[in-house]
Structure 1
Amino acid sequence: MPLSGVMSDRPPAPSSRPLLQRLPRNLPLRIVFTVPMLLQLVGIVGLVGYLSFRNGQKAVQDLASQLRGELTARIQRELQGYFSAPHAINRLNATAFTYGDLDIVGAQRGENILFQQMRIHPTIAFAYCGSTQNGEFFGVLRQPDTGQLQLSYGNASNDFLRENYSLDVRGSRMHRLSQLDRVYDARTRPWFKAAVGRERPVWTDVYLAFSTGLPNVTASLPVYDSAGRNLLGVCATDVVLPEEFRAFLSDLEIGESGEAFVVDRRGNLISSSTDEELMVGTDPDNLQFLKAVDSRSELIQSSANYLTEQFGSFDQIRQAHQLEFNMEGDRQFLEVLPFRDGFGLDWLIVVVVPEADFTADIQANTRTTIALCLVALAIAVALGIALTRWVTYPILRLNNAVKTIAAGNWQGTVDLNRSDEVGQLADSFNQTIAQLHESFKRLEVQRNAFSRFFPPEYLTFLDKPDVTQITLGDHINREMAITFCDIRSFTSICEKLTPQETFDFINSYLKNISPPVREYNGIVVKFLGDGMMSVFPDGADAAVSACIAQLRCLQHFNEIRIQRGDVPILVGFGIHIGHVMVGIVGEENRLQADALSDIVNLTARLEGLSKYYGVSLVISEDVLKKLEHPERYHTRFLDRAIVKGRTEAIAVYEVFDTEPERDRRLKQQTLPMFEKALEAYRDGQPLEAREWLEQVLAINPNDSTAILYLQRVALLYESGVPRNWDGVWAFTQK
């Protein structure tokens, strides 16, 4: 008994403890309440969905197999009917040829026979016969554009230059319509040679018709005399591909987006249910059939590629196959069926239908089922959350407040209205958040203030996460476009202003022209009093476009000044391109962004030249060559010049897109004369250059550059052309 009492006081073995007591004690209450219910619902929904999906897949495959088989059978029947009539017509015409009812050599009778055949068979493009005697030709053709039936023959009477005649309602010839300009010998044509060579009814390869230029396939039959010994000629019938048969394919109901097409054994697309052109090439005399693997229809192209990969080539497909393949993750059902008519046609019929065409209704039902299950799941989750919230409400409030603060919302305080330990924790939390909020506000003010001295574009450009990572000497060395701009006559403008007005004027001006730099991914390196230096990592197009935008902003700025009674200002821009080092210079306690390169000085000189030539925007020849689309801009050559501080001449150009409409139009109008004037100037012909310049100024008297060159020409004429004259102008001042 004592032993029994001792044993009964021990805790039960772990295996005998209830399941809920064996759960980990650190599990959140929300999981304890909601997870078991969710697992049960998800398991049931998943099983039902899987069974529904499997049954739906089987139904789709059965339906797709039936549809593919039915469509290919219909297409096969249509092809058999479509291509059996030409051979029947050939047999009739061969009989008429043998017994003289068709006068192939003399072309005196027989057109009414061919006329009636063409009327009975509207899909036939041409019915005709050729003679072995001298290559005579006699037939009735259907005009592809009007459908009119015409007699066409060539023999000795017209020197074998085929003539075409209109036919009346009984098929009798009426008026001569046209005549070919080259000799037509029936014996040399592919349809004639094919029938004679094989001595039986045959089909030719697809070719471009001699008379219509359309893709044809011809059924031809050798014609012998009544004794069957002597070859009289060949009768043939043309079928134009692929118009009539394409209409049949287009009218087939191949699901919602399926396609049907016919290819030969070389992969040429004979016909399809699409409307794309089946002949490709730019030379009308050398058109080629479109390959199925090159079709614009993604479905046809993918099907052809799959068949090629599966069988090696189209020639290896000898029997019907029902196949499946994936295109961009979507399953496609395909059937390929060989078509042979016994006379030489050997093509493949292909029908391909996307699985999505069959699964739309099934997927809709699946979505409905899933939606209902999700509603039930949502209700269960809501009940579990409500119960959990009732139990864990104070802690969840505090947890949500912490998450809100972590997301950056400093308004997330907790008001539990409780005096227990959780309430005291909430009060301490609110005090801590208030203090942190004030500290971050002070830091944000400092950061915003600092960003005005160090623009964030530099961080991106130097690939730095924040300003604390910037160090002295950080730089990027790469090819960039660089621009300088400067206000003309700035000193005289400032003489009329107080210091405060001068600062207000400069800041207003810079505020207007700076934004376009950032719009084109440029960086304002520094402000130079009344000027500005910028770099453009994206190259010449960005720099030129930004300067044009800046000049247009300047136009708006001047309009406001004029309305206030102020004098408008003029600004000059210069652009050059090359390798530039952009980075941080200075000392450890004072950092500044700058750009260092020889081209910086050269660009500044180009900006100075804008005033000399009286233009707004000057670019170097290197910039012009780097433009991806120079034709988008209005440019003209200005000069070959040696700027101060350099020994080599550079070519400079004007971009006058932002000139007033009248000035831009006049510069464009006088551009040929201006170029001839500069050519004469460079060749040392001052008189000729003056004549051209005077013509320019007669049209555009305000062309400052033309006036400048007129002065140069006068000086050149007076002092004489130097012996080594090359037209280069050397500047001794900036």
Structure 2
Amino acid sequence: MRYKILLVVIPILIITAGFLGFTSYFSAKNGITGIAKEFLGFKLQDIYKYAAQQNNFIKNMDLASDPTLFLNTKRSVGDYATTVINSPTGGFVGVTLSNNLEIVSMTNFNTKDSAEMIKKFDGKTSGWVEFDSDGKQYVGVFIDFSDWHMVFVILEDRNTFYRTVNEILDFLFIILSASLVVSTILLLIFIARITSPINKFVRTIQDITSNMDLTKRVKIYYPDEIGVLGFYFNNMIAELEGAYNQIKNYAYQTVLAKKKEERIRFIFQKFVPQEVINQVLNLASDSMLIGARQKVSIFFSDIRGFTTISESLRPEELVLSLNSYFDRMVRIIINKHGTIDKFIGDAIMAIFGAPLVRPDDAESAVSAAIMNSDAIEEFNQGQRASGKIEFKIGIGINTGDAIVGNIGSEQKIDYTVIGDTVNLASRLEGLTKMYHMPIIISEFTKDEIQPGKFHFRELDTVRVKGKNKPVKIYCPMALEKAKPLVQYLNSFHTALSQYYDGKFKEAKNEFSRLFKERPEDEICQLYIERCDYLILNPPKEWEGVETMTTK
């Protein structure tokens, strides 16, 4: 009887535990693998849409026959895929069915690998693919992009893709092995007393395996060997239930984390340097996107006389010129660690100091402004060569505290900045036309920059509309450009000091002399006209402050 019971019970325990373990394993594997496949498919659809947009763009612009542009378009798809996939062990491939590798954004992948891969397509236009090549194992998803006569594929190393599932299998194997060993030992020691309770024990086990209900437990009738076995079995089921719930929770949290990363990348990827996006994701700080007060440098750039420009160009020419202009300006701003806040018609608003703060944000903003001012000259060379009107820009920069974060409604929300600091920067940009200067910054921005980085030409002390407190304004200059003008700029500062002191005749004489020396420096003419007015209409109380009545 003892050996008969042993021969019956041990196989039941092994089969039951194995069935539970491997059922849990395959359920977890199917769940995690399904989610991972869907996520790869989501990324591939994103890349597919991007490629379709690029293809439609060059078709609509009638540029599809340009081989260089077409090659650059394919490269841009590869670059975009690298950003979307962001995997050290995987990548993106665009290949023709004749095994021409057109786009490759992963290392150690060659035509031999792609040949093995193409065999697995089996004539399908999309789906899942697994293949081996020279000891390398890959899994991935593919879709046919008929416009370019190629197949887009996202690949991942097979071991990396199934790593979590294999770890779960090892963990389940250890638990099942330990549980079976304990159960067998208890049976061998106390089998003589296993009679009626063992039948109830087996029925409970059968009930659990048939219904796959891990919440059920073995009922313990006596505190004997059968009771101990029941106790350990219940612990094993509880551990399996906990492990299964952990697997489900892990899969859920993985999806949430990916969605969060996608949301952050979607907000910033077109307007923020890639390194900033990576730092935000590494810091895992949602608070960086919530409203907070912090010091920032606000950058406003606007095209002067844009209405005249728009009237002189055909719509398609205007769009091409604007896109070329924005591309140059935005690339410089992003390279200087600025964040593009928004485009306001032909104006650019950028933030330096959010979402990540750098010690040299003000310096970076001024440097970007000077580089933009230089870049517009190069841009205008192309405008002149094509017989188009030239662009002139004005840039205003201010530094101070502002509210930064996600601002908007449930229907539309943007990462932006608001406050008086922003308003003053906008006013300064508007003053560039009046003072005939390409760049105007506030004294608050100047004070944030270490001496010796730029030459700052003081222009005036102004009280902008809506503000009571006056602010000094400056035009920053690169040191190499200011060096030949040091004597002239010092003389200008002397004349400006005389103007501040109310010595209008002396100031006028000095400004007149400077204007004769450099008639292109139109700010001197501005001060000559002011001095003429003040000489005829002496002020009762002179502050040396120019009050602006318009925005």
Could you state the TM-score of these two structures normalised by the residue count of structure 1? Answer: 0.39
Partner of 1:733: 550
Q: CA deviation at 1:501?
A: 2.3
Q: CA deviation at 1:513?
A: 1.2
* Match status 1:501 vs 2:317: yes
* Match status 1:436 vs 2:141: yes
Partner of 1:554: 376
Partner of 2:426: 604
Q: CA deviation at 1:497?
A: 1.8
Partner of 1:723: 540
* Match status 1:483 vs 2:483: no
Q: Deviations over 1:504-529 (max 9, x none)?
A: 22111110111121222111111122
- Secondary structure of the residue aligned to 2:90 is coil
Distance 2:389 2:479 in 1: 19
Q: Which runs of 5+ in 1 are unaligned?
A: 1-404, 417-426
Is the 2:499–2:544 contact (alpha carbons within 8 Å) kept by the matching residues of 1? yes
Is the 2:502–2:544 contact (alpha carbons within 8 Å) kept by the matching residues of 1? yes
Distance 1:459 1:666 in 2: 38
Q: 1:545 to 1:433 in 2, by over 3 A?
A: same
Distance 1:502 1:652 in 2: 33
**Mapping 1:316-715, distance limit 5 Å:** 407-408=89-90, 429-430=130-131, 436-438=141-143, 441=154, 450=266, 454-457=270-273, 460=276, 464-465=280-281, 474-537=290-353, 538=358, 539-629=361-451, 631-657=452-478, 667-715=485-533
Is the 1:667–1:700 contact (alpha carbons within 8 Å) kept by the matching residues of 2? no
Q: 1:457 to 1:478 in 2, by over 3 A?
A: farther
Q: 1:711 to 1:470 in 2, by over 3 A?
A: same
Q: 1:643 to 1:511 in 2, by over 3 A?
A: same
Distance 1:461 1:452 in 2: 7
Distance 2:407 2:333 in 1: 22
Q: 1:667 to 1:455 in 2, by over 3 A?
A: same
Is the 1:414–1:430 contact (alpha carbons within 8 Å) kept by the matching residues of 2? no
- Secondary structure of the residue aligned to 1:644 is coil
Is the 2:404–2:415 contact (alpha carbons within 8 Å) kept by the matching residues of 1? yes
Q: CA deviation at 1:622?
A: 1.3
Q: CA deviation at 1:666?
A: 6.9
Q: Which runs of 5+ in 2 are unaligned?
A: 1-86, 93-108, 118-127, 144-151, 156-257
Distance 2:396 2:129 in 1: 62
Q: 1:452 to 1:622 in 2, by over 3 A?
A: closer
Distance 1:724 1:428 in 2: 83
Distance 1:468 1:456 in 2: 17
Q: Which amino acid aligns with 1:489?
A: G
Distance 2:295 2:304 in 1: 29
Q: CA deviation at 1:477?
A: 3.2
Distance 2:440 2:314 in 1: 32
Q: CA deviation at 1:676?
A: 2.0
Distance 1:490 1:541 in 2: 28
Q: Which has the larger radius of gyration?
A: 1
- Secondary structure of the residue aligned to 1:495 is helix
Greater RCO (CA < 8 Å, at least 6 residues apart) = 2
**Mapping 1:62-461, distance limit 5 Å:** 407-408=89-90, 429-430=130-131, 436-438=141-143, 441=154, 450=266, 454-457=270-273, 460=276
Partner of 2:148: none
- Secondary structure of the residue aligned to 2:141 is helix
Q: CA deviation at 1:409?
A: 5.3
Q: 1:479 to 1:613 in 2, by over 3 A?
A: same
Q: CA deviation at 1:459?
A: 8.8
Q: Which amino acid aligns with 2:541?
A: N
Q: 1:456 to 1:492 in 2, by over 3 A?
A: closer
Q: CA deviation at 1:494?
A: 0.6
Partner of 2:173: none
Distance 1:694 1:542 in 2: 35
Q: 1:603 to 1:461 in 2, by over 3 A?
A: farther
- Between the two proteins, what is the percent identity of the paired residues? 28
Distance 1:619 1:579 in 2: 16
Q: CA deviation at 1:657?
A: 3.1
Distance 2:408 2:494 in 1: 51
Q: CA deviation at 1:430?
A: 4.4
- Secondary structure of the residue aligned to 1:623 is helix
Distance 2:373 2:479 in 1: 7
Is the 2:271–2:334 contact (alpha carbons within 8 Å) kept by the matching residues of 1? no
Q: 1:451 to 1:710 in 2, by over 3 A?
A: same
Q: 1:454 to 1:512 in 2, by over 3 A?
A: closer
Q: Deviations over 1:7-54 (max 9, x none)?
A: xxxxxxxxxxxxxxxxxxxxxxxxxxxxxxxxxxxxxxxxxxxxxxxx
Distance 1:451 1:474 in 2: 13
Distance 1:645 1:689 in 2: 29
Q: Which amino acid aligns with 1:578?
A: G
Q: 1:481 to 1:452 in 2, by over 3 A?
A: closer
- Secondary structure of the residue aligned to 2:488 is helix
Is the 1:472–1:588 contact (alpha carbons within 8 Å) kept by the matching residues of 2? no
Is the 1:483–1:603 contact (alpha carbons within 8 Å) kept by the matching residues of 2? yes
Q: Deviations over 1:574-598 (max 9, x none)?
A: 1111112332222334332211121
Distance 1:459 1:504 in 2: 29
- Secondary structure of the residue aligned to 2:321 is helix
Q: Deviations over 1:470-501 (max 9, x none)?
A: 69962453212111111111111111122222
Q: Which amino acid aligns with 1:680?
A: Q
- Secondary structure of the residue aligned to 2:473 is strand
Is the 1:620–1:652 contact (alpha carbons within 8 Å) kept by the matching residues of 2? yes
Distance 2:278 2:115 in 1: 43
Q: 1:463 to 1:633 in 2, by over 3 A?
A: closer
Is the 1:459–1:467 contact (alpha carbons within 8 Å) kept by the matching residues of 2? no
For the aligned residue pairs, the C-alpha RMSD in angstroms reads 3.9
Higher mean C-alpha displacement, 478-487 vs 406-415: 406-415
Distance 2:329 2:505 in 1: 43
Distance 1:528 1:651 in 2: 26
Q: Which amino acid aligns with 2:346?
A: D
Q: CA deviation at 1:608?
A: 0.8
Partner of 2:38: none
- Secondary structure of the residue aligned to 1:632 is coil
Distance 1:648 1:460 in 2: 35
Distance 1:682 1:567 in 2: 39
- Secondary structure of the residue aligned to 2:295 is strand
Q: CA deviation at 1:460?
A: 3.4
Q: Which amino acid aligns with 1:502?
A: L
Is the 1:610–1:616 contact (alpha carbons within 8 Å) kept by the matching residues of 2? yes
Q: How many residues are treated as equivalent by the alignment?
A: 314
Q: CA deviation at 1:413?
A: 8.7
- Secondary structure of the residue aligned to 2:437 is coil
Q: CA deviation at 1:566?
A: 2.5
